[in-house]
């Protein structure tokens, strides 16, 4: 059986299965009775997407599939972020005021999100970066198929690239001063964790400490 969903290892978070649930999953992985496939992307891209998802859900009571359902262009996204930068910052800091429209625990702060990502990368049977899917979706899909022991006819395999745009945060960084300042203010421990999962805050290259 294949399950998919959101969970955390260390911190309680709105919309996520609690660490006690994840602990049972990891016990099954260590026992060899389950595999954990973890797909992740640059944390700053995730931050922008999560901020807009929660803002729309809390304010309009609707679920969106991507940023581009709200903002049609990168310029619109940058303008929207500038207008609501205080809201964005409150979300990134897991400020309860951001969630005042629907009382309950906040979503993970940015630093907690990065930490959780690192923990999942370390604990997964297979960790796959969304950016690598964008580079070569066929290659990355075959990694998953091999792990699941699925027979695939490689001659006819056609895997579409992800709809999400890799490294979109770079354009936002270049156009929104507040976002640049936010990146510059990221603490050293979180920066190190970002590098350990294969990313750089300087551009779209892999960090030198990236996992193979």
pLDDT single digits (tens) 135-190: 999 999 999 999 999 888 888 889 998 888 899 999 999 999 999 999 999 999 99
Determine if the pTM surpasses 0.75: yes
CB 132 within 8 A of CB 11: no
Topology (CATH) of 19-196: Rossmann fold (3.40.50)
Average pLDDT, the chain: 92
pLDDT tops 60 at residue 124:
yes
Sorted by where each begins, the domain ranges of the chain are: 19-196
Q: At what angle do helices 177-184 and 85-92 cross, to 10 degrees?
A: 20
Task: Give the span between the Cα atoms of 130 and 46, in whole angstroms.
Answer: 11
pLDDT tops 80 at residue 49:
yes
| pLDDT category of residue 204 using cuts at 50, 70 and 90 | low
| pLDDT category of residue 104 using cuts at 50, 70 and 90 | confident
Nearest Cα residue to 211 out of 190, 187, 195: 195
């Amino acid at each position: 059986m294949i399950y998919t969903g959101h969970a955390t290892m260390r911190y309680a978070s709105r919309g996520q299965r609690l660490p006690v649930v994840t602990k049972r999953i990891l016990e099954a992985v260590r026992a060899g009775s389950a595999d954990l496939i973890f797909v992740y992307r640059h944390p700053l891209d995730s931050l922008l997407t999560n901020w807009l998802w929660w803002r729309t859900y809390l304010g309009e009571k609707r679920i969106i599939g991507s940023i581009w359902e709200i903002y049609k262009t990168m310029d619109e996204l940058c303008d929207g972020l500038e207008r609501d930068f205080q809201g964005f910052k409150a979300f990134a800091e897991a400020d309860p005021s951001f969630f005042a429209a629907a009382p309950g625990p906040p979503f993970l702060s940015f630093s907690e999100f990065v930490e959780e990502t690192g923990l999942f990368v370390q604990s997964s049977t297979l960790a796959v970066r969304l950016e690598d899917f964008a580079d070569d979706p066929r290659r990355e899909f075959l990694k998953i198929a091999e792990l699941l022991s699925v027979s695939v006819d490689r001659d006819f395999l056609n895997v579409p690239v992800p709809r999400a745009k890799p490294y979109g945060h770079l354009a936002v960084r270049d156009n929104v001063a507040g976002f640049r300042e936010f990146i510059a203010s990221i603490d050293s421990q979180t920066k190190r964790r970002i590098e350990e999962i294969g990313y750089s805050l300087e551009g779209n290259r892999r960090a030198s400490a990236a996992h193979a």
